[in-house]
Amino acid sequence: MISFDRLPPQNIEVEEAILGGIMLDPEAMGRISDYLVSEAFYINPHKDIYQAALCLYQQGKPTDLLSITSWLADYDLLTRIGGRNKLASLVDRTVSAINIDALAALIMDKYLRRQLIKAGNEIVQLGYDTETEWPIILDQSEQKIFQISNERFCTNTEHNSTITAAAYSELESCSPIYPTGLHDLDKLIVGFEGGTLTIVAGRPSMGKSFIASFLALQMILLHNLPVVMFSLEMTKKQLEYRLWSLISVTKNYKHLGLLPLLSDRIRRHRAGKAPLTDSEFNSIAKIVGIASELPLYINDSRGITVSGIASQCRQIKAREGKLGLVVVDYLQMMAEDSGGNRSYELGDVARGLYKMGGELDVPVLALSQISRAVESRQSKRPMMSDLSQSGILEMVADNIILAYRDEYYYPDTADRGILELIVAKARHGETGTAAVLFDKSYGIIRNLES
């Protein structure tokens, strides 16, 4: 028996939880924007709030309380949705956005049921239209049902004709992959591509942080693209001093006559063991001028999460217009030590960074430790299975590069000054070893043929 006095399918509390989650969690919007449409909200103010969040997200801007409030105010919609107090109450009543995917699916279910009811009423009216021929009535009825069925498809699921056109357009526009400038490495992985996750792993003192700093500077110098570094191990100033040392011996600045600055030179000066000379101060002043002009951002928050990293990257991309590389040093420091399964926690971090890279279309370079097992083997060269909690990292990463210096274990080796970048996985390239020259005193890396 059909009752026409019942409320249409809806769930106001779930709508409020979704909106609160969007303003609470920077990653929430990326999880639901592909399939949750603003029309799915039953309450009109909720449609306006979600539309504001959707517009901000599509522009690469944060969807927090202040941003959405500002957007609604700019479009004279703030009063219509209930003012700032309405938005604040949505956030206050929300604990987390952990289940926002399931909540969004529920709202879409309610929306599609309302659409079915609407279509049913329209079909009933078509049935009373005796002046229209039956085949036309039937065709119009089928179209109304088909439109609802069609809305069930996730917008990320596309017919191959659409994908083919987009892929060809990418060829025409020459959507770039950015070479690292290390020739042997580029032969294997080609370069950094937006939406990919590259892991550089190694034992302590293999030069992982130096590699990351060098590749970050390469992205800036070779491609003039902004870079953001998240360091959970070293402070901003410690990274800055290392950057100064690297700049001092970089060929791009050779014409400035900079004095080579050892990577520990500033520390020795600060400790009073070897004060800087006037010549060194003058050279450092030039280096500071160079460094201050680089489109480089550094964050040393020890407790930063993947969602925090994503939020920072969105803001930087919105400010700069593009983002060339995101560096995270290092993965194990981000995995919470909550007494749970360490492998799962590390996997969540890796998956989160991989997803973020795809959403922002930016390459992500993450550093990782490898296990002590390599120390007990006769051959010290690391393998992919040596990655700490390797299973999930092997699955998620596009590229896995293992750093190895033979002289660390064998001081008399013939390969002194050689850094091996062992490409153990290359989803879009080839595995192999790229040998480069590495001077740890300055953190500089050069092609072997040079």
pLDDT of the residue at 135: 78
Instruction: Say if strands 418-426 and 432-439 run parallel, antiparallel, or are unpaired.
Output: antiparallel
Q: Which residues of the chain have pLDDT under 70?
A: 1-5, 146, 149-159, 161-163, 170-175, 336-344, 388-390, 450
Runs of H (alpha helix) within 151-262: 160-173, 183-189, 208-223, 236-248
* 175, 192 contact by CB (below 8 A): no
pLDDT of the residue at 162: 66
pLDDT of the residue at 282: 94
Whether the upstream peptide bond of residue 344 has omega within 30° of 0, thus cis, is: no
pLDDT of the residue at 90: 93
Range(s) within the chain of domains with CATH label 1.10.860.10: 12-150
pLDDT of the residue at 144: 82
pLDDT of the residue at 64: 93
Range(s) within the chain of domains with CATH label 3.40.50.300: 183-447
Q: Which CATH architecture has domain 183-447?
A: 3-Layer(aba) Sandwich (3.40)
CATH of domain 12-150: 1.10.860.10
pLDDT of the residue at 4: 55
pLDDT of the residue at 1: 45
